[in-house]
Amino acid sequence: MVRVWRLRNLLSCAALAAVFAVLAVGVHFSGAYALFTGGTVRKLPVYSVETAEKKLAITFDCAWGTEHTDAILRELERAGVRATFFMVQFWAEKYPEYVKKIADAGHEIGTHSATHSYMSKLSAAAIAAELESSSAAIEKVTGKEVELFRAPYGDYDDLLIETAAAQGYTTVQWDVDSLDWKDLSASEIALRVTGGARQGSIILCHNNGLHTAEALPAVFSALQSAGYTFVPVGELLIRGPSTIDAAGRQHPAG
């Protein structure tokens, strides 16, 4: 009886291992971020990128105001850093001069939706409409196609990522959060960013953070001195075949 019980357990373990192996192969070839949750595979956005080079990206979400944006742009220029700005449609339409100023300075622009809503609650048609109209508002000013999308509040589901991908957008999150929207001090922001950054990191900041511009010199000085180069997200991403692990990190395929 003991031998039979052991045999049944071994067979059960082998069956489970086979199931997970099949799922893992499926994730590997899907090119999508995935988490195993209750036996299902969940798709994820790009949180960071596996790279042999010491490069990373700093991003700014634009949804409210412009009071501190010029100071941020000055610090970016001073450090020779090109960043990625994710803009909400109503912000882009209210401040077209800033859309142009940011684009003319050589920074990359992505969409942050049309209305800054929780997009996981929307239908595929509503998601597509948000992406289309917000990108059109940006492209009207810059003349450049929008390829990147960041979901408001970091809120997403499979439908959102699939709909964005079908329209040609890469959905981008972050793996380093400055928490500048909480009005942390400049030193607190700088410590959070420099302490969390690594090769392939995507840093989240906001264009109107109270102390963001003040923190940037320390961030740029520390990371550039450590050998890091800042590039726009579009230049950090792996183009072509890739896989994405459960931590949200994009890897070259193979």
Residue 23 and residue 95 in one domain:
no
88 near 113, Cβ under 8 Å? yes
- For residues 25 and 107, membership in a common domain is answered with no
Kindly give the interhelix angle for 69-79 and 212-225, rounded to the nearest 10 degrees: 20
Count: domains in the chain? 2
Residues 210 and 113 placed together within one structural domain of the fold: yes
Identity of the amino acid at 178 = S
Q: Are the C-beta atoms of 218 and 186 separated by less than 8 Å?
A: yes
| Residues 58 and 142 placed together within one structural domain of the fold | yes
Query: What is the C-alpha separation between 106 and 134, in angstroms, rounded?
Result: 20
Whether 45 is covered by a domain: the verdict is: no
In whole angstroms, what is the distance from residue 138 CA to residue 109 CA? 8
Return the pLDDT at 240: 86
**146 in a domain, yes or no?**
yes
Shared domain check, 134 and 26: no
In a domain, 116, yes or no: yes
Supply the CATH number for residue 77's domain: 3.20.20.370
- Per-residue pLDDT at 11: 38
Quick one: 17 and 142 in the same domain?
A: no
Are 196 and 163 in contact by the 8 Å Cβ rule? The answer is no
**8 is in which domain, residue-wise?**
2-32
Structure tokens at 209: 């953070």
Distance CA 79, CA 217 (A): 8
CB 85 within 8 Å of CB 108: yes
**pLDDT by residue for the chain (254 residues), tens digit each?**
434 344 344 434 444 344 334 333 333 333 344 444 344 477 899 999 999 999 999 999 999 999 999 999 999 999 999 999 999 999 999 999 999 999 999 999 999 999 999 999 999 999 999 999 999 999 999 999 999 999 999 999 999 999 999 999 999 999 999 999 999 999 999 999 999 999 999 999 999 999 999 999 999 999 999 999 999 999 999 998 888 899 999 999 97
Are 73 and 212 in contact by the 8 Å Cβ rule? The answer is no
- Strand 108-111 and strand 84-87: the pairing is parallel
Per-residue model confidence (pLDDT) at position 42: 77
Same domain assignment for residues 14 and 110: no
Q: Regarding beta strands 33-37 and 40-44, do their DSSP bridges make them parallel or antiparallel, or are they unpaired? A: antiparallel
Residues 89 and 155 in one domain: yes
pLDDT of residue 20: 38
- Domain-embedded: residue 197: yes
**Are 9 and 129 within one domain?**
no
In a domain, 242, yes or no: no
Residue 86 and residue 23 share a domain: no
Is residue 245 assigned to a domain?
Answer: no
Q: Which two tokens stand for residue 80?
A: 């020779």
27 and 124 in a single domain? The answer is no
